[in-house]
Structure 1
Amino acid sequence: MNLQMILEYLNRLKENNNREWYHEHKPEYEAAAGEFLKLVEALMMELGKEEPGILRHEPKKLTYKLVRDTRFSKDKSPYNPAFRVHLSEGGKQPVPAGYYLMLTPGGSFLGGGLFADIFKEETGMMRDYIAAHGEEWEAVIRDESFSSLFEVKGTALKNVPAGYDREHPQAQYLKNKSWYVEYPLADEALADADRFISETVEVCRIIKPFNEFINKALAGSPFLRQS
């Protein structure tokens, strides 16, 4: 498995972000995408040992296209020079929470949690669950292995929303509209594929209780009713 090939291709795409170059170098894309798919398959096999629901999905259907939607963006470059995948029991949909991996030169990371802040029902469910299970939330985010790597991120309101106690011990997190964590991955880490897979799987194990808390909070989500 040649993960360096992925970064090499993405670096060239970043420097030549136009449709002409992309189509002229389609074989290079296919080779890099093939290596990324091998990585996805390897991660699925390892994560599936503890979370078998991940194995329900075809690896290729969990990845994202390079093409960007430029309709509402000032940046009109047609491609996002990044290979991305979301691994969860629900596949690519944001619920249930899973593991999001993005490989891009100088900005690769592994993440978990609820990234999107546009789902009002899920936002309310998450706030309600944190408010009712504050000690459990604290146990997850203050766990030594978790807190040594992560700080919970997410877009947030300036104030605690109406209907919630402003003095609640978890008031800081009740302001949030999304709750996620990110683990940066250096370009050099991709030099050794086996080591990269091992490290990624270990970080996923640390993220897992965080995802599990979120998934309990979102147990009644419309995304799950549709699946």
Structure 2
Amino acid sequence: MPETNAFSNDLLEFLKLLKENNDRDWFNDHKSEFKELEAEAKKCFNTVFDALKVHDDVDRVKMFRIYRDVRFSKNKAPYKTHFSGSFSRRKPELRGGYYLHIQPNNESFIAVGFWDPSKDDLLRIRKEFEMYDDEIRSIINEKKFKTIWGEFAGDELKTAPKGFDKEHKAIDLIRKKQFVFTRKYSDQQVASPNFLEEVNTSYKAVRPYFNYMSSVLTTNINGEPLI
């Protein structure tokens, strides 16, 4: 991957100003600048997408719009103060997804995993952990993986889900509602020449986890293929 500033300081500074001036008049006055920076961001997201395709079967990159849906929100600010996007793996065989979030004041991060598993997928994952949790623990506790991604993030129940023993040895995994990992970055890191390469390297390290979870979610409780 060629060295290039992934997301410029100009882009980060614009987002800071947008946070301070989150109204349509200011945004319209700076629309041309926004369009230039949006094009820069899209180029960065596409660069990551191309890098992902080298080591994973991803079929879509989606950069989310800057405009907020305020219809059902108490916060009526019309614009997001970040750039973000996702990268989708080929389904139904491959599960899991990648997310990239660029926000100034050291609030940028990447995330991988399963944000909103369906009811059936969530039950299947929990049943797998109930039967056998050694393999998933071996994957997420491997030294390189742990160094990059740390611990599971995401929402979880305070107690055992219905039908599961609250004293089960894998209850720490079973009670989770999301199965995601996140990695934070400073503004200095985001604007550094090797940032996109660093993101891709981190994404690449998650493959053992994705391979395992894809295997679980494409088989039934007896290990028989579903697709």
TM-score, normalised to structure 1, is 0.84
Q: What is the aligned partner in structure 1 of residue 176 from structure 2? A: 176
Shift of 1:7: 1.1
- 8 Å contact kept, 1:64–1:84: yes
Shift of 1:153: 1.3
| Matched AA of 1:155 | D
- Distance, in Å, in 2 between the alignment partners of 1:137 and 1:40 is 30
Q: What is the aligned partner in structure 2 of residue 70 from structure 1? A: 70
Shift of 1:134: 1.0
Q: What is the aligned partner in structure 1 of residue 157 from structure 2? A: 157
List runs of 5+ in structure 1 lacking aligned partners. 221-227
Shift of 1:90: 4.6
Deviations 1:78-125 (A, max 9, x none): 11111111112259xxx83121000011210011011236x3223212
Equivalence map 1:1-227=2 (5 Å): 2=5, 3-4=7-8, 5-51=10-56, 53-54=57-58, 56-57=59-60, 59=61, 62-90=62-90, 96-106=95-105, 107-116=107-116, 119-149=118-148, 150-193=150-193, 195-219=194-218
Change (3 A) 1:218 1:80: farther
Deviations 1:59-87 (A, max 9, x none): 4xx11111122233222111111111111
- Distance, in Å, in 2 between the alignment partners of 1:76 and 1:174 is 37
- 8 Å contact kept, 2:86–2:98: yes
Three-state SS of the structure 2 residue aligned to 1:182 is: strand
- Distance, in Å, in 2 between the alignment partners of 1:159 and 1:133 is 20
User: Post-superposition, which runs of at least 4 consecutive aligned residues in structure 1 deviate over 4 A?
Assistant: none
Higher relative contact order (CA 8 A, sep 6+): 2
Structure number with higher helix proportion: 1
- 8 Å contact kept, 1:130–1:170: yes
Three-state SS of the structure 1 residue aligned to 2:28 is: helix
- 8 Å contact kept, 2:55–2:204: no
Larger mean CA deviation between 73-82 and 171-180 belongs to 73-82
Q: How many residues align?
A: 210
TM-score, normalised to structure 2, is 0.84
Larger mean CA deviation between 74-83 and 206-215 belongs to 206-215
Query: What value does the CA root-mean-square deviation take over the aligned residues?
Result: 2.1
Deviations 1:153-212 (A, max 9, x none): 12111111122233333210100111111100110012223x101111111122222233
- 8 Å contact kept, 1:112–1:211: no
- Distance, in Å, in 1 between the alignment partners of 2:65 and 2:145 is 31
